[in-house]
Amino acid sequence: MAQQVLTPERREAYWQRTSTLMWTILALWFLFSFVIPLLAVPLNSIVIMGFPLGFYMAAQGSLIAFVVLCFWNASAQNKIDQEFGVSEED
């Protein structure tokens, strides 16, 4: 499938959707990078299998969230690209 040339209106709609996705991912990244680790100390009062919950949420949970965010971002951007006819796939 050949890439389409976007009209100014469609280009603006495409950028709006891409921008919304970008800001959503950035907000979630901030949450998992800064907010959750700040809550690690209060969560340490909860112990699961001998380890404090804050450890899992700050160390392990954030890493898992980052991987999920990467895959979600790629998938969502591909859907936006296909919707607007600018996908790189044939």
Alpha-carbon distance of 80 to 9, in angstroms, equals 15
Smallest Cα–Cα separation from 4: which of 85, 74, 81? 85
User: Which pLDDT does position 53 carry in this prediction?
Assistant: 83
**Cβ atoms within 10 Å of 18's Cβ, excluding its own:** 15
pLDDT at 2 over 60: no
- Report the pLDDT value the prediction gives residue 90, as an integer from 0 to 100: 52
The pair of structure tokens assigned to 36 is 């959750």
The pLDDT tens digits of the residues spanning 9-40 come to 999 999 999 999 999 999 999 998 888 888 77
Mean pLDDT of 42-59: 82
Q: Considering the entire predicted model, what is its pTM?
A: 0.77
Residue 69's pLDDT band (boundaries 50, 70, 90)? Answer: very high
Q: Give the CA radius of gyration of the chain.
A: 19
Domain ranges of the chain: 47-76
